[in-house]
Amino acid sequence: MTRALDVEKIRKEFPMLTSRMNGQTLVYLDNAATTQKPSAVIDRMNRFYRQEYATIHRGVYTFSQLSTEECDASRERVRAFLNAAKTQEIIFTRGATEAINLVARSYAAKFLKSGDEILICETEHHSNIVPWQAIAKEKGLVLKVAPVDDRGEIDLEEFQKMLGARTYLVAVGHVSNALGTVHPIEEIVKRAHHAGVVVLVDGAQAVPHMKVDVQALDCDFYCFSGHKLYGPTGIGVLYGKEKYLEAMDPYQFGGDMIETVGFDKTTYAKLPAKFEAGTPAIVEIVGLVPAIDMLEKIGWDAIHQYEQELLEYATTELQKIPGLRIIGTAKEKAAVISFVLDGVHPHDIGTVLDQLGIAIRAGHHCAYPTMKRFGVAATARVSFAFYNTFEEIDKLVKGLQKVGEIFG
C-alpha cells in the first residue's frame, strides 16, 4: 500500500488533533459534520482580528479599504478554486444551507409556477429537501424524488423518466453525507440540461474530497460550507451562472445590497452585492483563503488517493466485526462509512467510543429519508479526512470490538 501523504507532518498543522478526550488522544472521525482547522486558518483569523480588522465597503479609511481588498481577494480565490468563469458568480452565504435557501427563494419562487416540478434525489440532506418543500407548499409546486438502489446509487433511468415536461429544477447532492455515495453529477447535469432543466448541486460533502470545476460540470448552481473545508464556520459559498443570478431578485434586504434607496423606490446593487445584505462574515471570508491554499498545496490527487486508501482499509476491517453491516456500498464513495451493529443502538456505539477518545456521529445525519430507504432509524457514521491515520482505524476497530463485548 502506498502512502500518498506525509500524514505526521500534516497532523502537526492541526492543533485540535493533539487534544485529549476522556483521557485519550482524540481520534476525530466526524469530518463530514465539520473538519478541524489548520494553524494557517486559526493564525490568519487571529492576526486579522488583532491587526487588520475593520468593516468593508463603508469606510474611507485605510484599514476598511484593506479589509475590503482582503474580502475581494478571497472571492477571487474561491472563483479560482471552483474554476467559475467570473468573480461575481461567487456569492458568500452563511453555509450550504443558506445558499440552497437563497436559490429556493430567489430562483424557484420567482420562476416556477403552480404545478411545476422540482426533482431531487432520495439521499438528500434535509438542507436540500426542506427549502424546496417549503417553497413547493407556498407556490403549489411538486417535489419529486429520484430513487437510489440498494447500494445507494441513483437510478439514472428512473431519474431520466422523472424529468418531465413540468420539471424546471433539479437539486441534487454531489456526495451523500449519510452514505458517502459520489453521485454522477456530470451525467445528471447532462441529462437535466438535455431536458432544458436548471441544476443546483449541493457540494457540501464533495469539496473537501475532490477537485470541483463548475465549468466542467456545467451545473447552474453549486454550493458548499467553509467549515467542512477546513475553514471557519459561518461562511459558505453559492456559485451561480451569471445569467441566472442576474435574473434573480434578492431575498434578503438591507445595507450593502442596494444601489439607491428612497421611500418610494429602491434599486439593487450589481452582483455579487445584490445577494449579500448586511455586514458579512468578514473574518470568516478571510479565513477561507488559507484553507483553500492548504488543500491545493497538498494536492487533490494525493488527498484523493490517501482518503481512498483509508476508506478501503476501514471498510475491510469493519466488515470483519461480527454483526456489523455497512449502509451504503456504492462503487464510488467519498471516505464516509455508515454502519449498524446488530442489537446495539448507534448512540450506544457513539457513547462507548467517546469514552475511548473516538469521536464519531450517531443518528439520522439530517437525512431521515435516507435512513427510511435503508430501513434503519439511525446509523453510526465514521468520516475521514486526510489527517486521519490507519492506526486510528485500528483504534476504531478495537473500540467496536469492545462495544460488541459490552452489548454482546
CB of 319 to ligand C6P, least distance (A): 23
Residue 362: CB atoms within 10 A of its CB come to 19
Is 122 a residue that touches ligand C6P (CB under 6 A)?
no
Convert residues 142-181 into a mask of x (bound to ligand C6P by CB under 6 A) and - (unbound): -------------------------------x---x----
What residues contact 404, with CB distance under 8 A and at least 6 apart?
A: 321, 322, 323, 341, 344
The sign of the CA dihedral 175, 181, 186, 190 is negative
Nearer to ligand C6P, 223 or 393 (CB): 223
296 CB-contact burial (10 Å; exposed 0-12 / middle 13-18 / buried 19+) = middle
Check whether the bond before 147 is cis (ω within 30° of 0): no
CB of 207 to ligand C6P, least distance (A): 10
CB of 177 to ligand C6P, least distance (A): 3
Nearer to ligand C6P, 5 or 330 (CB): 330
Any bridge partners for residue 339, and if so which?
Answer: 326, 380
Is 95 a residue that touches ligand C6P (CB under 6 A)?
yes
Nearer to ligand C6P, 167 or 225 (CB): 225
Is 231 a residue that touches ligand C6P (CB under 6 A)?
no
Contact present, 252 and 232 (Cβ < 8 Å): no
Among candidates 141, 138, 134, 147, which has minimal Cα distance to 118? 141
Stretch that binds ligand C6P, among 49-57, 125-133, 258-266, 297-305 (CB under 6 A): 125-133
Nearer to ligand C6P, 4 or 96 (CB): 96
What residues contact 384, with CB distance under 8 A and at least 6 apart?
A: 29, 31, 307, 310, 311, 314, 335, 336
Rounded CA gap, 310 and 382, in Å? 11
Convert residues 13-32 into a mask of x (bound to ligand C6P by CB under 6 A) and - (unbound): -------------------x
Stretch that binds ligand C6P, among 59-67, 95-103, 154-162, 397-405 (CB under 6 A): 95-103
Instruction: Answer yes or no: 121 catalytic.
Output: no
Binding positions for ligand C6P, 55-94, rule CB under 6 A: none
CB of 158 to ligand C6P, least distance (A): 21
The CA-based diameter of the chain, rounded to the nearest angstrom, is 72
For ligand C6P, the binding residue among 134, 195, 302, 366 (CB under 6 A) is 366
Convert residues 195-214 into a mask of x (bound to ligand C6P by CB under 6 A) and - (unbound): -------x-xx---------
Q: List alpha helices for 282-345, DSSP H.
A: 282-298, 300-319
CB of 30 to ligand C6P, least distance (A): 7
Among candidates 138, 181, 184, 123, which has minimal Cα distance to 157? 184
Contact present, 331 and 319 (Cβ < 8 Å): no
DSSP reduced 3-state for 210 = coil
Is 361 a residue that touches ligand C6P (CB under 6 A)?
yes
Nearer to ligand C6P, 142 or 366 (CB): 366
CB of 236 to ligand C6P, least distance (A): 6
CB of 300 to ligand C6P, least distance (A): 19
Stretch that binds ligand C6P, among 122-130, 133-141, 238-246, 399-407 (CB under 6 A): 122-130
CB of 383 to ligand C6P, least distance (A): 8
Helix (H) or strand (E) holding 24: strand 24-25
Is 33 a residue that touches ligand C6P (CB under 6 A)?
yes
Any bridge partners for residue 355, and if so which?
Answer: none
Nearer to ligand C6P, 96 or 154 (CB): 96
Is 101 a residue that touches ligand C6P (CB under 6 A)?
no
Q: What is the 3-state secondary structure (H, E, C) of 161-197?
A: HHCCCCEEEEEEECECCCCCEECCHHHHHHHHHHCCC
Rounded CA gap, 167 and 107, in Å? 14
What residues contact 150, with CB distance under 8 A and at least 6 apart?
A: none
Interacting residues with ligand C6P (CB under 6 A) = 32-33, 95-97, 125, 127-128, 173, 177, 202, 204-205, 225, 361, 365-366
Active-site amino acid positions = 366
